[in-house]
Amino acid sequence: MSNWRQLTSTELETVAHIEELSLSAWPALETMFFDGWTIRFSDGYTKRSNSVVPLSRGKQDIDGKVKYCRQIYNDRHLPTIFKLSETSLNADLDEYLALLKFDQIDETMVQTCSLSTVAEISTDCLDVQNGFSSKWITGFFYCSGLEDPAKQATAKALLARISDQVVAVRKAADGRTAGCGFGVVQDQFVGLFDISVHKDFRRQGIATEIVSTILKRAKSVGATTAYLQVMANNEPALNLYKNFGFKEAYRYCYRIKQPDHEKELELDNKSLKPTP
């Protein structure tokens, strides 16, 4: 990121807590834990589920750890992706990855709001479930434009792995799914994910209805704080969430490098092994 803030101890605790919540709320098909880093794989579907998430500095040297991550993603024919939240720890790693020609992409805001201050908005014709119905899943593919059968299969598998309480909302119009989204309730928090409105139904207030419904249901089951992730340059979404009182808590970005099919990734330290 262009500017790595020096966060207070309270802010750092917030970052750590939300990062842990979001890892559980949006799972991966396979996860390894490696010297303070979480390494996730999901057949290339979404960067969140196919990236390295550093949660602590660890004890081993960065060079060897990055080489190991390059190797295991390369073996799976996937790009090596690091998700770097806004901490001084990751500023050092970000600088190192830049030297290795990792591209920086997708600067993202993590925003939070207190549910005690969220105004309720009247909604109608919304289907609200505590899980993902076949109509919701089909509607999600329709609204998001996810047409690849392999990616659809991976998305279904990821959704099935969510173990916390789910609030899945779908809006129907003209016999079609106009919009959908879901929330995951954990530890008095609710995370908002995949708020999506089909292009034919945008600018009709549907996203507002979906978000309001998720927050209202989450509050009724004990959630007190909501969080979400939104691209820093997505002005329509930022304006939507601002109306609910969401404010920036911190940012993250990704560093990415495409798979290398040459043998330059030979490990210097053969003893580097993650735990499953």
Q: Using alpha carbons only, give the angle 215, 217, 219 rounded to the nearest 5 degrees.
A: 65
Cα gap 108→161, rounded to integer Å: 24
> Could you report the average pLDDT of every consecutive run of 10 residues in the chain (276 residues)?
74 89 95 96 96 91 95 96 86 92 96 86 80 97 96 97 96 94 96 96 93 94 96 95 94 93 46 50
Cα gap 162→65, rounded to integer Å: 29
Cα gap 200→139, rounded to integer Å: 13
Q: What is the pLDDT at residue 275?
A: 53
Q: 38 with 50: CB under 8 angstroms?
A: no
Q: Using alpha carbons only, give the angle 178, 179, 183 rounded to the nearest 5 degrees.
A: 160
Q: 35 with 60: CB under 8 angstroms?
A: yes
Q: What is the pLDDT at residue 44?
A: 95
The first and second tokens of residue 146, run together, are: 């996810």
What's the CATH number for 9-109+253-257?
Answer: 3.40.630
Compute and round to an integer the Cα radius of gyration of the chain: 19
Within 10 angstroms of residue 198's Cβ, the number of other Cβ atoms is 19
Domain assignments of the chain as residue spans, ordered by start: 9-109+253-257, 113-250
pTM for the complete prediction?
0.90
Q: Tell the CATH superfamily of the 113-250 domain.
A: Gcn5-related N-acetyltransferase (GNAT) (3.40.630.30)
Q: 180 with 170: CB under 8 angstroms?
A: yes
* The domains spanning 9-109+253-257 and 113-250 adopt the same CATH topology: yes
DSSP the chain: --------HHHHHHHHHHHHHHHHHS--SEEEEETTEEEEESTT--STTSSEEE-S--SS-HHHHHHHHHHHHHHTT--EEEEEESSHHHHHHHHHHHHTTPEEEEEEEEEEEEGGGPPP----SEEEESS--HHHHHHHHHHHT---HHHHHHHHHHHHT--SEEEEEEEEETTEEEEEEEEEEETTEEEEEEEEE-GGGTTSSHHHHHHHHHHHHHHHTT--EEEEEEETT-HHHHHHHHTTT-EEEEEEEEEEE----SSTT--S-TT---B-
Q: Which residues are CB-contacts of 122 (< 8 A; sequence separation ≥ 6)?
A: none
Q: What is the pLDDT at residue 237?
A: 95
Q: 191 with 228: CB under 8 angstroms?
A: yes
57 burial type by CB count under 10 A (0-12 exposed, 13-18 middle, 19+ buried): middle
The first and second tokens of residue 52, run together, are: 């390295």
